[in-house]
Each structure stands twice: as structure tokens, then as C-alpha cells.
Amino acid sequence: MNIKVLLCNCKGLCPSFKDSDFNTLPFEVESELDVKYAVVHPQLCGQGGNEALADILRESAKDPETYIVSGACAPEAQYKLFQKLLRRTGFDPKRFVPVDIRGTNNDGILAAIGEKVAALIREHEDVGAGTSLRQ
């Protein structure tokens, strides 16, 4: 299973991100959590961010074991913002996991992302165990 983490801090201008440090955050995520990588784009829903996300989604769509955890604004907002992109790239929306990382510091973001990553790994292991029990 591969988990790729994308992080967005709303152009660095939004007060919701005033207590976090996005320069150190990707390294913290990569060191603390079982993920393939973590990258920051300051505006995932902008033109450049959309293109970068499209490349990652397109590449990751081929592998059913790859999940994208997107740390940014509210999950409902992210689904709306990225719905077309998910369709266009053929990425299974079930493997796109948006996380709200606003209004906290790096520790809070790490905890929110870590919770999702742990849940994904647990689910994956349960499915694996279920499959082997059936065999």
C-alpha cells in the first residue's frame, strides 16, 4: 500500500494556517508516518496546483494500492474543488482522502493526517485478513 500526502496552506495567506510551518511539515510527516512522501503546494485548487495534482492522480490511478491523503480545507470543499479532476484523471474517489488541517499547528496537522493514515492501514490490513480467511 502506498500513501502519498499532499499539503496545501491556502497561499500562505489564510489565518487558519498562521500557527503552522509548511517548510518543516513535509519532513515531519515523512519521518513520523508510514507514507511514501509528503509534498506542499500553496494552492492546490489553483491552476498550477490543479496541474500538479492531475499528474499525481493520473500516475496513481493505475495502482489500486495507492491512496492520496490531501491535507487542506474542509473535506466537503475539497470534494467539490477536485471532483472534475478526479473524473478527468480516472482516479477512484474512494482512494482520495481529504483531511481538514486548518486552525492548528504542525502537531495538530500531524495528528489529523496520522489518524487518517492509521485508519487506511487498518482497513487495508482488515481487507487482507478477510481475503486470506476466505481462501
Nearest residue (CB) to ligand SF4, 47 versus 131:
47
Whole-number minimum distance, CB 30 to ligand SF4, in Å?
20
Whole-number minimum distance, CB 41 to ligand SF4, in Å?
8
What dihedral do alpha carbons 99, 80, 82, 25 form, nearest 10°? -30
CA 130 to chain centre: 26
Whole-number minimum distance, CB 57 to ligand SF4, in Å?
14
DSSP 66-108: EEEEEEES-HHHHHHHHHHHHHHHT--GGGEEEEE--SS-HHH
Whole-number minimum distance, CB 82 to ligand SF4, in Å?
8
Nearest residue (CB) to ligand SF4, 46 versus 128:
46
Beta carbons within 8 Å of 108's beta carbon, 6+ residues apart? 20, 101
Residue ranges binding ligand SF4 (CB under 6 A): 8, 10, 43-45, 72-73, 81
Nearest residue (CB) to ligand SF4, 16 versus 28:
16
Whole-number minimum distance, CB 61 to ligand SF4, in Å?
20
Cell numbers for 105, please give them.
499547528
Inter-residue contact 39 to 101 (CB < 8 Å): no
Nearest residue (CB) to ligand SF4, 44 versus 57:
44
Nearest residue (CB) to ligand SF4, 99 versus 110:
99
